[in-house]
Amino acid sequence: MSNSSVNLSGGASVLSAHAEAPSSQASMILASKKLMKHAAAPLLKQMGMSRARTAPVQFLDSACGTGVVTQEVQGMLAREVLDKSTFICADSSRVLVDVVAGRIQDEAWVNTQAKVLDARDTGLEESSLSHVAVALGLHLIPEPDKVLKGKSLFLDAFDVRVG
């Protein structure tokens, strides 16, 4: 089935509508901090993210929702590494991007931008990123690894690909 014949907006629309209420936003952020971080943990390990990492990253948290993967990376890397790195939290939902933008400011995430991007075609330059993470949206994205540099890793919560 071609991408043009598949409507992928239903789930995103429901999540966006849910996220519009401030109380829902607070509960979604709490879930990111307390529950969803456990879904991100295997990704971070496979990506080589640890407190010992010294190399900077060019990181895309695609279909980011409330930014759970970025939240974990920001809490893990040393400030010196964060200062040399770049992070993009991207989602197709303007509401969720606004939630993440608030978190970037409120939680002082370093060198992080929130952008409305379609994970199926981000428009980002090919080979521009060292890491792409998709926690729960890979099934929506054709060729998700085309923005990776050389032999970089593409990881999601369920699979590993070498780019």
* Pairwise CA distance, residues 116 & 144, whole Å: 16
pLDDT tens digits for range 24-46: 888 888 888 888 888 888 888 88
Question: From residue 105, how far is each of 22, 75, 101, 102, 108 by CA, in Å?
Answer: 16, 15, 6, 5, 5
User: Is pLDDT at 6 greater than 90 in this prediction?
Assistant: no
18: DSSP letter? H
Which residue reads 């054709």 in tokens?
Answer: 142
Return the amino acid letter for 3. N
Which H/E stretch holds residue 23? helix 22-31
Higher per-residue pLDDT: 143 or 5: 143
Tokens of 126: 């090919």
* Pairwise CA distance, residues 22 & 79, whole Å: 31
pLDDT tens digits for range 41-84: 888 888 889 999 999 999 999 999 999 999 999 999 999 999 99
CATH code assigned to 3-162: 3.40.50.150
Evaluate if pTM is beyond 0.85.
no
pLDDT tens digits for range 116-141: 998 878 899 988 999 998 877 766 66
* Pairwise CA distance, residues 96 & 90, whole Å: 9
Higher per-residue pLDDT: 18 or 30: 30
Domain-by-domain residue ranges, the chain? Answer: 3-162
Which H/E stretch holds residue 11? helix 9-19
